[in-house]
Amino acid sequence: MASGEGFLTDEQREMLKIASQNVETALPSPRLSSSPKSPTSLLSDHQLKVPAGGKAPTGGIAVRHVRRSHSGKSIRVKKDGAGGKGTWGKLLDTDGESHIDRNDPNYDSGEEPYQLVGSTISDPLDEYKKAVVSIIEEYFSTSDVEVAASDLKDLGSSEYHPYFIKRLVSMAMDRHDKEKEMASVLLSSLYADVISPPQIRDGFVMLLESADDLAVDILDAVDILTLFVSRAVVDEILPPAFITRAKKTLPESSKGYQVLQTAEKSYLSAPHHAELLERRWGGSTHVTVEEMKKKIADLLREYVESGDTFEACRCIRELGVSFFHHEVVKRALVLAMEIQTAEPLMLKLLKEAAEEGLISSSQMVKGFARLAESLDDLALDIPSAKTLFQLIVPKAILQGWLDASFMKSSCTDGEAQNEDKKLNQYKKEIVTIIHEYFLSDDIPELIRSLEDLGLPEYNPVFLKKLITLAMDRKNREKEMASVLLSALHIEIFSTEDIVNGFVMLLESAEDTALDILDASNELALFLARAVIDDVLVPLNLEEITSKLPPNCSGSETVRMARSLITARHAGERLLRCWGGGTGWAVEDAKDKIMKLLEEYESGGVVAEACQCIRDLGMPFFNHEVVKKALVMAMEKKNDRMLDLLQVCFNEGLITINQMTKGFTRVKDGLDDLALDFPNAKDKFSFYTEYAQKKGWLLPSFGSSATEALPTAAAS
């Protein structure tokens, strides 16, 4: 008791003792008396509230705040009787001990205690990534392209489509060839209709940037990703220029750079690479593009014979390639142009297919657009192709199965094409001339054909067409084009014509890159080669750049050409960049010219020397004969070389233009020659006067030369 009552006075202890005895006497049972919830206990509480004398104890502690525990010890409880061991608590106590029964008929959910529930904020990108995984998994199971495209459209969040490209390819990379082929087919079907071209590009860039990580989990990741990139280029969902541009954004040591390097040098440069890439994974899920084109052509020809529109639509539907219906549109239009009687049938078929929803509006527009882009080439086989096309477009729009928006671009192109009938005819003629040149390698004949056309104002157009056609052919034709430029420059083309022609080429470089692999690099080689061949001077590259529109990709091509020219041994490398495919490489020709002149100088016969020059077969390069003959005359102090040049001119072997170019080249290098031959300028003045008197050098050249020489001598 001492421990429990150590804070009570003697008087308080006495009062407590009396109260306890009274309670124990009043209770009938010891069990009830010890129960803290007994009614008599409650009564005793009230009795203790007013002790004898009607006053509270002088110690200031009310007796009613004292309770007895089960052990018999007295303990203090909280004010108002709330809490404390062995107590009921106060009347409105809301401690956590209270229990809410949800099965109680009077249960009210509002009585439930308030709880803070923790939750993470969802990231839309994470949700998108999870959703596309299920779409891809389902596609790999069902092979249903249309369902996959529809699900992706319904998903929305089109700004995240590059992540779909990345996830689709990365999932396919770790599976069998069947899934890889399916992934490539799906990408082709989604292109433009569901996923925009920039998003396709961004998706592949993301893949290339993560190539190092992919290689950790997939051993042959580099090879597989190379195939996907190459296949995308072949399927025309990535432009060939993508490889060049993407390489600039990746470190050379990265796996992504290695992927692009392999795609460019191996897969896309191999003969028949398109066919090989289309069959690389066996085409296990769908036929190849070429096979599908053949099926479309066959069904359209059968339709021309039968005229059964319903059957033709059924065959188109059975192809199961809604993403490739633009090919049906294009081939139907071409067939309508080839066979005049088939035009009504083809237009009827396209109208029916559009009204049934078999061919979508976007596929219809895409088919018309593809045909519009190839009209120039189609006109070679169907001369009236452009006229027919311009008649079909208004009909299709009027009947409601071609979007009217196509007319704007179509009309713009049509007006540009018909703006000058003379230009159209010229383009047609020069394509034939260039094709004949590639077959015959006859430069003089080509020059005569151009002179017969009598349209020198269109010389830049000829240059553009020449290089464009050459870029789509083998190295032999590319070399022939460069050689032809050298010949045309001195014979009938001015430097301004060459500059304007290259400007036209560079302005359309992005469009050219869609059809020709590595067009940017090849254009740079043509530009650099033109400088090495003295067709252009380095300053002309600055002029070309200034004429290009802002942000034109052609500016980058010009920079590439400039770097090629300034590289070590640039002359030799560029002269052999296409293997000298026309016969003698230029360097070889220079060596042969030097040898024949040395033989002639040492006592050779004029007729034999002329025959050797003729055997070179490079009349466009005869200015080199003139230049080396003049330099050798200065070096050997032997004027026999002038006799050789006289005979060559008399026989028509070297033209006056070639003579002029040869003298011009010597004049431009007189300062350097004067270091080896102190009297070089005097000698050159003598040779110029001699040639002018003999009539094989233009008089105007003589006056400009004599004006320039004293200035050089004075300096």
- Token code pair at residue 273: 């690479």
Whether residue 11 is contained in a domain is answered as no
Least confident of 120-124, 139-143, 239-243, 282-286: 282-286
Question: Looking at the predicted structure, is the pLDDT value of residue 128 above 50?
Answer: yes
Residue 38's pLDDT is 43
Of the pLDDT bands very low, low, confident and very high (cuts 50, 70, 90), residue 116 is low
Residue 53's pLDDT is 43
Of the pLDDT bands very low, low, confident and very high (cuts 50, 70, 90), residue 586 is low
Same-domain status, 431 and 565: yes
Same-domain status, 456 and 545: yes
Same-domain status, 174 and 259: yes
Least confident of 517-521, 595-599, 681-685: 517-521
Where a domain ends, among 549, 575, 601? 575
Please give the Cα distance from 165 to 206 (Å, whole number).
9
Where a domain ends, among 279, 308, 340? 279
Residue 113's pLDDT is 63
User: Strand (E) positions, 261-342?
Assistant: none
Question: Looking at the predicted structure, is the pLDDT value of residue 29 above 50?
Answer: no
Question: Looking at the predicted structure, is the pLDDT value of residue 368 above 60?
Answer: yes
Residue 458's pLDDT is 87
CB 184 within 8 A of CB 280: no
Whether residue 160 is contained in a domain is answered as yes
Closest by Cα among 7, 5, 72 to 36: 72
Residue 714's pLDDT is 34
Q: What is the pLDDT of residues 271-290, one digit of tens each?
A: 767 767 777 786 544 456 66
Of the pLDDT bands very low, low, confident and very high (cuts 50, 70, 90), residue 259 is very high
Residue 167's pLDDT is 92
Count structural domains, the chain: 4
What is the pLDDT of the chain when averaged over all its residues? Answer: 78
Same-domain status, 130 and 148: yes
Helix (H) or strand (E) holding 75: strand 74-76
Same-domain status, 258 and 339: no
Of the pLDDT bands very low, low, confident and very high (cuts 50, 70, 90), residue 192 is confident
Residue 565's pLDDT is 86
| Residue type at position 363 | Q
Of the pLDDT bands very low, low, confident and very high (cuts 50, 70, 90), residue 52 is very low
Please give the Cα distance from 164 to 149 (Å, whole number).
12
Residue 260's pLDDT is 92
A 10 A CB-CB count for 464 gives: 22
Q: Which residue has the higher pLDDT, 594 or 27?
A: 594
Name the burial class of residue 198, with classes exposed (0-12), middle (13-18) and buried (19+) by CB atoms within 10 angstroms of its CB.
Answer: exposed
Whether residue 439 is contained in a domain is answered as yes
Read off the pLDDT of each residue in 334-357 and give the average, rounded to a whole number.
Answer: 88
Same-domain status, 325 and 349: yes
Residue 170's pLDDT is 92
Whether residue 609 is contained in a domain is answered as yes
Of the pLDDT bands very low, low, confident and very high (cuts 50, 70, 90), residue 209 is very high
Range of the domain at 543: 425-575
Percent of the chain with pLDDT over 90: 9
Residue 33's pLDDT is 41
Q: What is each CA distance from 38 to 43, 69, 73, in whole angstroms?
A: 9, 13, 18
A 10 A CB-CB count for 225 gives: 28
DSSP per-residue letters across 524-577: HHHHHHHHHTTSS-HHHHHHHHHHSPTT-THHHHHHHHHHHHHSTTHHHHHHTT
Whether residue 300 is contained in a domain is answered as yes
Whether residue 462 is contained in a domain is answered as yes
Whether residue 3 is contained in a domain is answered as no
Whether residue 445 is contained in a domain is answered as yes
Percent of the chain with pLDDT over 70: 77
Same-domain status, 547 and 482: yes
Where a domain ends, among 255, 279, 303? 279
Q: Which residue has the higher pLDDT, 362 or 497?
A: 497
Same-domain status, 554 and 679: no
Least confident of 411-425, 509-523, 535-549: 411-425
Read off the pLDDT of each residue in 628-642 and give the average, rounded to a whole number.
Answer: 84
Same-domain status, 602 and 560: no
Q: What is the CATH number of the domain that holds 391?
A: 1.25.40.180
Same-domain status, 592 and 568: no
Of the pLDDT bands very low, low, confident and very high (cuts 50, 70, 90), residue 88 is low
Question: Looking at the predicted structure, is the pLDDT value of residue 123 above 80?
Answer: no
Same-domain status, 132 and 256: yes
Of the pLDDT bands very low, low, confident and very high (cuts 50, 70, 90), residue 533 is confident
Strand partners, 76: 66
Question: Looking at the predicted structure, is the pLDDT value of residue 81 above 60?
Answer: no
Question: Looking at the predicted structure, is the pLDDT value of residue 710 above 50?
Answer: no
Same-domain status, 152 and 133: yes
Residue 584's pLDDT is 45
Name the burial class of residue 126, with classes exposed (0-12), middle (13-18) and buried (19+) by CB atoms within 10 angstroms of its CB.
Answer: exposed
> 391-405 b/e with 16+ CB inside 10 Å = b?
ebbeebbeeebbeee
Of the pLDDT bands very low, low, confident and very high (cuts 50, 70, 90), residue 370 is confident
Please calculate the CA angle 602-606-610 and round it to the nearest 5 degrees.
115
3-class SS of residue 582: coil
User: Strand (E) positions, 635-695?
Assistant: none
